[in-house]
Amino acid sequence: MNAIEVNNVSKSYGKVKALDDVSFTVGQGEVFGLIGPDGAGKTSLYRILCTLLLPDSGTVAVDGFDSVRQMTDIRRRVGYMPGKFSLYEDLTVEENLAFFATLFGTTVEEGYDSIRAIYSQIERFKNRRAGALSGGMKQKLALSCALVHSPSVLFLDEPTTGVDPVSRKEFWDMLGALKDRGITIVASTPYLDEVCRCERVAFLDHGQVRGIGTPDEILTRFADIFNPPGIEHATGSEVHEENVIEVEHLVKAFGSFHAVDDISFTVKRGEIFGFLGANGAGKTTAMHMLTGLNQPTSGTGRVVGYDIRTEHEQIKKHIGYMSQKFSLYEDLTVAENIRLFGGIYGMNDADIARKTDEMLERLRFADHKNTLVASLPLGWKQKLAFSVSIFHEPGVVFLDEPTGGVDPATRRQFWELIYDAASRGITVFVTTHYMDEAEYCDRISIMVDGKIKAIGTPSELKQKFNQPDMDHVFTYLARQATRSSD
Amino acid sequence: MKTMKYLIQKEFTQIRRNAFLPKLIVVFPIMIMCVMPWVMNMEVKNIKVTIVDNDRSTLSQQLVHSIEASNYFIFKGQQPTYRAALQEVEQSRADVVMVIPQDYSRDLTLGKQPQVLIAANAVNGTKGAMGGAYLSQIVTAHVNPDIAAMQSRVSTLFLYNKNLNFKLFMIPALFAIVMMLMTGFLPALNIVGEKEAGTIEQINVTPVSKWSFILAKLIPYWVIALFVITVCLLLAWAVYGITSVGPLALIYLLVMLLALFWSSFGLMISNYSDTMQQAIFVMWFFVVMMLLLSGLFTPTRSMPSWAYATTYVNPMSYFIEAVRTVFIRGGGLSSIWHQILALLGIGSLMATWAVISYKKNS
Amino acid sequence: MKQFISFVIKEGKHILRDKRTMLILFGMPLVLMLIFGFAITTDVKNVRAIVVTSSMDHLTQQAVDRLAASEYFTIVQVVATPKDAERLIRGQKADMAIVFGADFASKRSGVQFIVDGADPNMAQQWTNYATSVMLNPDGGAVNTKMLYNPQMRSAYNFVPAIMGMLLMLVCAMMTSISIVREKEKGTMEVLLVSPVKPLMIIVAKAIPYLVLAFVILIIILLMARFVLGVPLVGSLFWIIVISVIYILLALSLGLLISNVAKTQLVALLLSAMVLLVPIVMLSGMLFPVESMPTVLQWISAIVPPRYYIEAMRKLMIMGVGIKEVAREVIILVGMVTLLMTLALVKFNKRLE
């Protein structure tokens, strides 16, 4: 018997067709991947499978039960981790876990084995409130909460967004263990290495199933989306000798806890500098000090020639910034956002208007000049946010996990923009959890436990640590971490 | 300062796009001016009287008739006993009971003072007191012709509000509520909203200065508040024929001073809050206290001294006192200068606090 | 059952950990009770009076002395012409003026009160008091008795109103926000997909707020009795029974709001618009319903706290029997049944 049978399911919200005649089956104990760009209908599909939404037409059976008539039976058998799943921030780590365990009729002790690999990383913070954890930590706790019970079918909607590569590997190892116990798993992910760990995947686009097959089949068939050709980038050619960022012995302490613990490095003009590290290694804190959001506890730093301690307002005039949390004002149109940020950096109306047209032309986005940002797909928002952050031609642009949650083709387009900016002499300082992106950087540093453990070009690092690719380098270094929080 | 233009434009666009705010800006003045004055009417009327006449003489019936004839009271008939009359009060069919004693007419003819009992339901103190007082005037006049003669020599002139119109009393005070919501609550929520959405972080890494960012947030709401106040003034004139006796310029000055306070207060609260819910709760708490102790509903002078002392630091109290003086009594600058100074002082103090507590770099 | 208990405990923790909200939830009744109980009164006192006379003869002096001796008035100034008096009143240096005619002593001309009429109620009361102080110092033929509230404390009127307002806010607003918060954060999806019955989720969410409302009710009653000295003359049993009915009503309203609202902010604004404003304005809490125009009286007829406050005033302050509040109780029970059914029928077991 199939664990999941989806027959001709359609679902619309008003005029928007979220799902259009979707059919597939998932066998008992199978690890099934759902992949597709943002807005493809994955979340709607999950909700229909979990009986949270009713399909407009078509039928769904989970574990042999009909999703419309036998709602209670399904809910008793499935586990679900929604994409925007968050925890109770005012409860402690342990209380969150215990609550979800009880909710699903089990206890933390009973379920401990199935979550050990990930939960043990955060267990020492079990008395800390979930709200005080870093983003990646929260995601790990959420994973633990979702896996603490053993349902017969598990639905995971992009469970690893924002999680560092090492923890992602551990997470998929855990899924493997669940599979061995006969649990059926349906998961979606934007990471290719994770797609490859599924037995079969369905590629969903614009509400339609474009193809179902083994990961290899799908990735080859839709290679233009999932496996775009690498970007040609002549390293070092445009890099100048002068230093744009100079950091010496920088420390940021919160009480006795050193989030950033004595780091020193330099970044040269026109360089693309990858700033890597596991969740909670201190990346975001370091970035906040460089951009003038936070004062360092000790140490010195200069960005575009200004002191980060005393001249942070000067720095702000000469940098661009784009964070994972925020792209643009959602209730303003594309043109209005550009106009606002242009104005903030002291450009005049005529310049803004001219550059806006130029920029939108270059992005092939002129048609959407007056579209509200809220109605754009995620990938577009990110490209736009980046373009806006370099609109005033800053000396350095800081990108904090700019490409979270989008498919490889969109990420590749994003990196073309980055190269384009770098070729114009803009230094790019970027954090990412995608190790293929790390390879695109001129130079990278890897932070572990608040310290920089390695710094150099990708090939230097691979050679030095004797690893085949950046993914392995990162895993090798991050596994040496002794603490896991910021 | 050039960036201000862009920031203010952004705020206006966002207000316009908001699903709720434009409706609020249109509906709010209408609500405030067309519904509130009718609701906020503490006028005591329709006092229901029931009478127990134990005398049943011509004289006592005369008294009953004079009460029946008074258009101040609603006469609810007579009851045989005090007990029965009290029952009427308990069932809310009467507010005041008058008991005429058995020997009423005999005492009167003998020149003795009869004792008429007036029992008023005083759960609502004002109503009980006023009903009792009017009734006792009628009775006194009936019992004692001398006093009746004297009463006729006493006349009363009500200044500024000849018809004792409650709406006139409330309308200027309502401006305080408009300003509180428009320049206090809304900008505070707006700033906490940007905090929650994370957009404030983006603004913090730009060269926008503290002052421009805050002012750009406040100015649109000030403009809107002035617009709303103007609409309110026009509505008061169109709907009730009520206009300000004193100079309008003073009204606007007072309104701006109050806006300074509320904006700073809202900003200060939003700086200390992480979520909109927190901000609203804390604001609400202070607003309720300030409103109740401001003299909007009850006279500050009747408060016990410790409560009266709070009005020295309560800007709402200064505002309401001053705006009523200008609007109703026609007072000029000389009548309200010390309220103006007080508002300015409290406002600047709060503004300083607000700016200090807003951190761009921590 | 174990799930249910852990659910209730979890909700309780949410409430207890939010220190600021807790402070406000418990601070609010305290502050309101103190303000209404002690600070806010419409007593006539400290009335600043001006005497206007051209010749201070013996009889005039006597009348002025009587005024000055009374606890209600302070004579702030003696001026010669009514014009001067008017100027002082306009400048808010005085509230009223007593103008004695030139030949007041000879009883040919009379007395005129010039009163600041801005506040109509107070203006009338000042006149009443001044008349009785001057003309009828000993009360004479009338013996006035203030029923139920001999000292005419405004607390008597407001305590039931505070109960009506706070119970509604705590139950309806807090419950709706806490449900919507789970929707907004995405945890509701997980809860719904869990084996726990949806109805149980709601009941578990409501229980801590029910307890909280009860604690607040007890605090108010204790404060009313021992701090404000409001005699709880009516049957405590019925006071509690009716309050429970009212709390249930508030919970159903909160549940209904949580069904409509998508975000916490909307829930908050909805509660404020649909609950707070009508309660304060139309329930007869501050402003008597009977003084309103008919249309507003009709609207106030569907505002639940109106009946609760009315019933509480009668029960607590007037001490009437349950028979006398039967009408209010029946209306409240009717409303609870209707709203509760509606809330449960409308409760979404799925999203959308």
Tokens coding C244:
């429970």
Residue B158 lies in a domain: no
Q: Provide, rounded to the nearest whole percent, the portion of chain A with pLDDT above 70.
A: 96
Tell me whether residues A86 and C187 touch, CB distance under 8 A. yes
Q: What is the count of residue pairs from A and B with beta carbons less than 8 Å apart?
A: 75
Position B10, amino acid:
K
Residue A260 lies in a domain: yes
Residue B362 lies in a domain: no
Let me know: does C244 contact C211? Beta carbons within 8 Å: no
Do both B169 and B22 map to the same domain?
A: yes
Tens of pLDDT along A190-217?
A: 888 889 999 999 999 888 999 999 998 8
HSE toward the beta carbon, residue C345, CA cutoff 13 A: 6
Mean pLDDT, residues C90-105 taken together: 81
Contact status of A68 with chain C (Cβ, < 8 Å): no
Enclosing H/E stretch for A443: strand A443-448
**Per-residue pLDDT for A31 more than 90?**
yes
Structural domains for chain C: 2-40+153-346 (no CATH), 47-135 (3.40.1710.10)
Highest mean pLDDT range out of A63-67, A321-325, B315-319? Answer: B315-319
Average pLDDT, chain A: 86
Domain that holds residue B94: 47-153
Position C260, amino acid:
V
Contact status of A53 with chain C (Cβ, < 8 Å): yes
Instruction: Give chain A's domain count.
Output: 2
Tell me whether residues A293 and B205 touch, CB distance under 8 A. yes
Residue A232 lies in a domain: no
Contacts of C30 in chain B (CB under 8 A): none
- pLDDT grade for A486, boundaries at 50, 70 and 90: very low
- pLDDT grade for A275, boundaries at 50, 70 and 90: very high
Residue A486 lies in a domain: no
Do both B322 and B209 map to the same domain?
A: yes
Tokens coding C123:
């203006």
All chains having 3 or more CB pairs closer than 8 angstroms to chain A: B, C
Do both A296 and A200 map to the same domain?
A: no
Which of B352, B356, B210 is closest to A313 using CA atoms? B210
C-alpha gyration radius of chain A: 23
Do both B305 and B179 map to the same domain?
A: yes
Q: Which of A290, A332, A340 best probes binding to B when mutated, by most B CB atoms within 10 angstroms?
A: A340
Residue A172 lies in a domain: yes
Do both B200 and B286 map to the same domain?
A: yes
- pLDDT grade for A485, boundaries at 50, 70 and 90: very low
Domain boundary among B90, B124, B153: B153
Using CA atoms, how far apart are residues A426 and A322, in angstroms rounded to an integer?
A: 14
Let me know: does C34 contact B291? Beta carbons within 8 Å: no
Tens of pLDDT along A71-88?
A: 888 888 888 888 776 788
Tokens coding C235:
């049957």
Give the residues across from A389 on adjacent strands. none
Q: Which of C90, C109, C260, C271 best probes binding to B when mutated, by most B CB atoms within 10 angstroms?
A: C90
Domain boundary among B153, B186, B221: B153
Range B236-256 burial, b when 16+ CB lie within 10 A, else e? beeeeebebebeeebbebbbb
Do both A221 and A249 map to the same domain?
A: no
Using CA atoms, how far apart are residues C79 and C114, in angstroms rounded to an integer?
A: 13
CB proximity list for B75: less than 8 A, separation 6 or greater = B49, B51, B67, B68
Q: Give the number of other Cβ atoms within 10 Å of residue A225's Cβ.
A: 20
Tokens coding A48:
């229909």
Residue A235 lies in a domain: no
CATH number for the domain spanning B146: value is 3.40.1710.10
Do both B130 and B76 map to the same domain?
A: yes
Do both A222 and A256 map to the same domain?
A: no
Tokens coding A132:
């005080």
Contacts of C18 in chain A (CB under 8 A): 90
Do both B177 and B287 map to the same domain?
A: yes
Give the range among A209-223, C125-139, C250-264 with minimum mean pLDDT: C125-139
Three-state SS at B294 = coil
Contacts of B115 in chain C (CB under 8 A): 141-143
Using CA atoms, how far apart are residues B160 and B145, in angstroms rounded to an integer?
A: 33
Question: β-strands A184-188, A153-156: how paired?
Answer: parallel
- Between A170 and A456, the more confident residue is A456
Return the pLDDT at A10. 93
Do both A189 and A268 map to the same domain?
A: no
Residue B188 lies in a domain: yes
Mean pLDDT, residues A228-232 taken together: 71
CA angle at A230 for the pair A229 and A236, rounded to the nearest 5°? 155
Residue B345 lies in a domain: yes
φ, ψ of residue A220 in degrees (nearest 5): -75, -45
To the nearest whole Å, the CA of C185 is away from the closest chain A CA by: 6
φ, ψ of residue A281 in degrees (nearest 5): -80, -15
Tens of pLDDT along C32-42?
A: 888 887 887 77
Q: Give the number of other Cβ atoms within 10 Å of residue A28's Cβ.
A: 14
Q: Which of B92, B117, B169 shows the shortest C-beta gap to C119? A: B169
Which of C123, C15, C106 is closest to C57 using CA atoms? C106
Using CA atoms, how far apart are residues A172 and A154, in angstroms rounded to an integer?
A: 13
Mean pLDDT, residues C283-302 taken together: 84
**Residue B171's closest chain C neighbor by CA?**
C118
**Residue C350's closest chain A neighbor by CA?**
A52
DSSP string over A55-104: -SEEEEEETTEETTT-HHHHHHHEEEE-TT----TTSBHHHHHHHHHHHT
Do both B187 and B248 map to the same domain?
A: yes
Contact status of A46 with chain C (Cβ, < 8 Å): no
Q: Is the ipTM of this complex over 0.85?
A: no
Contact status of A107 with chain C (Cβ, < 8 Å): no
Return the pLDDT at A122. 80
| SS3 track for chain C | CHHHHHHHHHHHHHHHHCHHHHHHHHHHHHHHHHHHHHHCCCCCCCEEEEEECCCCCHHHHHHHHHHHHCCCEEEEEEECCHHHHHHHHHCCCCCEEEEECCCCCCCCCCEEEEEECCCHHHHHHHHHHHHHHHHCCCCCCEEEEEECCCCCCHHHHHHHHHHHHHHHHHHHHHHHHHHHHHHHHCHHHHHHHCCCCHHHHHHHHHHHHHHHHHHHHHHHHHHHHHHCCCCCCCCHHHHHHHHHHHHHHHHHHHHHHHHHCCCHHHHHHHHHHHHHHHHHHHCCCCCCHHHCCHHHHHHHCCCHHHHHHHHHHHHHHHCCCHHHHHHHHHHHHHHHHHHHHHHHHHCCCCCC
Do both B206 and B319 map to the same domain?
A: yes
Which of A179, A185, A175 is closest to A154 using CA atoms? A185
Return the pLDDT at A249. 92
Return the pLDDT at A484. 47
Tell me whether residues A326 and B202 touch, CB distance under 8 A. yes
Residue B159 lies in a domain: no
Contacts of B336 in chain C (CB under 8 A): 92
Tokens coding B196:
């929650």
Position B296, amino acid:
L
Using CA atoms, how far apart are residues B260 and B319, in angstroms rounded to an integer?
A: 12
Residues of chain B with pLDDT under 50: none
Contacts of B207 in chain A (CB under 8 A): 313, 316-317, 344-346
Residue A231 lies in a domain: no
CATH number for the domain spanning A261: value is 3.40.50.300
Do both A279 and A412 map to the same domain?
A: yes
Enclosing H/E stretch for B99: strand B96-100
Mean pLDDT, residues C75-90 taken together: 88
Which of B350, B343, B297, B335 is closest to B319 using CA atoms? B343
Tell me whether residues A332 and B13 touch, CB distance under 8 A. yes
Let me know: does C316 contact C160? Beta carbons within 8 Å: yes
Q: Give the number of other Cβ atoms within 10 Å of residue B226's Cβ.
A: 17
Do both A299 and A222 map to the same domain?
A: no
Question: β-strands A243-254, A257-268: how paired?
Answer: antiparallel
Using CA atoms, how far apart are residues A141 and A148, in angstroms rounded to an integer?
A: 10
Using CA atoms, how far apart are residues C127 and B164, in angstroms rounded to an integer?
A: 13
Using CA atoms, how far apart are residues A82 and A186, in angstroms rounded to an integer?
A: 12
Three-state SS at A238 = coil
**Per-residue pLDDT for A237 more than 70?**
no
Return the pLDDT at B303. 85
Which of C212, C175, C167 is closest to C32 using CA atoms? C167
Domain boundary among B91, B118, B153: B153
Domain that holds residue A127: 2-226
Do both A220 and A255 map to the same domain?
A: no
Owner of token pair 């001999």: C150
Do both B68 and B31 map to the same domain?
A: no
Do both B55 and B35 map to the same domain?
A: no
DSSP letter assigned to residue A159:
T
Q: CA distances (Å), B174 to each of B33, B39, B170, in order?
A: 8, 12, 6
Do both B33 and B105 map to the same domain?
A: no
**Strands of A78-81's sheet, edge to edge?**
A78-81, A153-156, A184-188, A31-35, A200-205, A208-213
Give the residues across from A265 on adjacent strands. A247
Tell me whether residues B362 and A293 touch, CB distance under 8 A. yes
Do both A33 and A154 map to the same domain?
A: yes
Do both A166 and A292 map to the same domain?
A: no
Instruction: Give chain B's domain count.
Output: 2
**Per-residue pLDDT for C112 more than 50?**
yes
Q: Which of B45, B157, B284 shows the shortest C-beta gap to C291? A: B45
Do both A185 and A272 map to the same domain?
A: no
Mean pLDDT, residues C98-113 taken together: 74
Do both A197 and A269 map to the same domain?
A: no
Maximum alpha-carbon separation in chain B: 94
Three-state SS at B121 = strand
Residue B66 lies in a domain: yes
Let me know: does B254 contact B323? Beta carbons within 8 Å: yes
CB proximity list for C310: less than 8 A, separation 6 or greater = C284, C325, C328
Do both A68 and A182 map to the same domain?
A: yes
Which of B139, A297, A25, A18 is closest to C140 using CA atoms? B139
Residue A236 lies in a domain: no
Do both B169 and B262 map to the same domain?
A: yes
CA angle at A305 for the pair A304 and A310, rounded to the nearest 5°? 105
Tell me whether residues C351 and A47 touch, CB distance under 8 A. yes
Cα dihedral sign, C196-C199-C205-C208: negative
Enclosing H/E stretch for A277: strand A272-277
- pLDDT grade for C104, boundaries at 50, 70 and 90: low
All chains having 3 or more CB pairs closer than 8 angstroms to chain B: A, C
To the nearest whole Å, the CA of A474 is away from the closest chain B CA by: 29
Return the pLDDT at A85. 64
To the nearest whole Å, the CA of A9 is away from the closest chain B CA by: 33
Return the pLDDT at A238. 58
Three-state SS at A156 = strand
Tell me whether residues A71 and C349 touch, CB distance under 8 A. yes
CA angle at A372 for the pair A368 and A378, rounded to the nearest 5°? 80
Residue A233 lies in a domain: no
